[in-house]
Chain A
Amino acid sequence: EPEVTQTPSHQVTQMGQEVILRCVPISNHLYFYWYRQILGQKVEFLVSFYNNEISEKSEIFDDQFSVERPDGSNFTLKIRSTKLEDSAMYFCASSGRQGGGYEQYFGPGTRLTVT
């Protein structure tokens, strides 16, 4: 069964460093998303992406964040200068069609620890 994959599973970085979280969505999917979950809290939407453009973003997704689809398979989330409060689990998701009625398939997550 096709699945969303994410690398690395755990990333440790120092405050102020740049990190890139990588995701490989399901191959025929066109809609991509990033969410984050601070430890013990709820899952929060960051950004959605389609046709090489951001469709929607939350207030969390400020200028420190960017997303890119550098090739036909990867979808990345970059945090330019990490802060302690960026420590969280980051989930990538993809969907085959647009619309609330279509399931978003989630990857296993990348745990980001900022020290």
Chain B
Amino acid sequence: AQKVTQAQTEISVVEKEDVTLDCVYETRDTTYYLFWYKQPPSGELVFLIRRNSFDEQNEISGRYSWNFQKSTSSFNFTITASQVVDSAVYFCALSDNAGNMLTFGGGTRLMVKP
């Protein structure tokens, strides 16, 4: 069975601070995919990134960066110089190779205060 744990239920930072959202996953599959989604107050789910289990290279996209470490089964997400618009719930998710379902973590609510 697959499982995703986001231990931080809520994080509060002041604008321009860096913040890291943790994600730990469990799977018996050798091929799997990891995702991050953003859920702003309006409620929709916005895709941010997808990584496969064979690609441990870290990725940077603007102020966002992701650190994938297979050795610790973690896929952490860092926002640099946070902004108020980053306030949202962020979900980490896991899919097996078949892709029939996404298993989501419990989410981390990020509040960025001006």
CB neighbors of A among B38-95 (8 A): 42-45, 47, 50, 52, 91, 93, 95
Number of B interface residues in the complex (CB < 8 A): 27
Q: Judging by beta carbons under 8 Å apart, are A45 and B101 in contact?
A: yes
CB neighbors of B among A39-60 (8 A): 41-45, 48, 55-56, 58
- Report the Cα distance A45→B93, complex, angstroms: 11
- Report the Cα distance A20→B8, complex, angstroms: 35
- Tally of A-B Cβ pairs under 8 angstroms: 67
Q: Judging by beta carbons under 8 Å apart, are A98 and B43 in contact?
A: no
Interface size class of A (residues with CB under 8 A): 20 to 34
Q: 9 A-B Cβ contacts within 8 A?
A: A31-B99, A33-B102, A42-B104, A42-B107, A43-B45, A100-B33, A100-B95, A100-B97, A108-B43
Q: Judging by beta carbons under 8 Å apart, are B47 and A103 in contact?
A: yes
Q: Judging by beta carbons under 8 Å apart, are B104 and A48 in contact?
A: no
Indicate which residue in B32, B45, B98, B107 contacts A106 across the interface (CB closer than 8 Å): B45
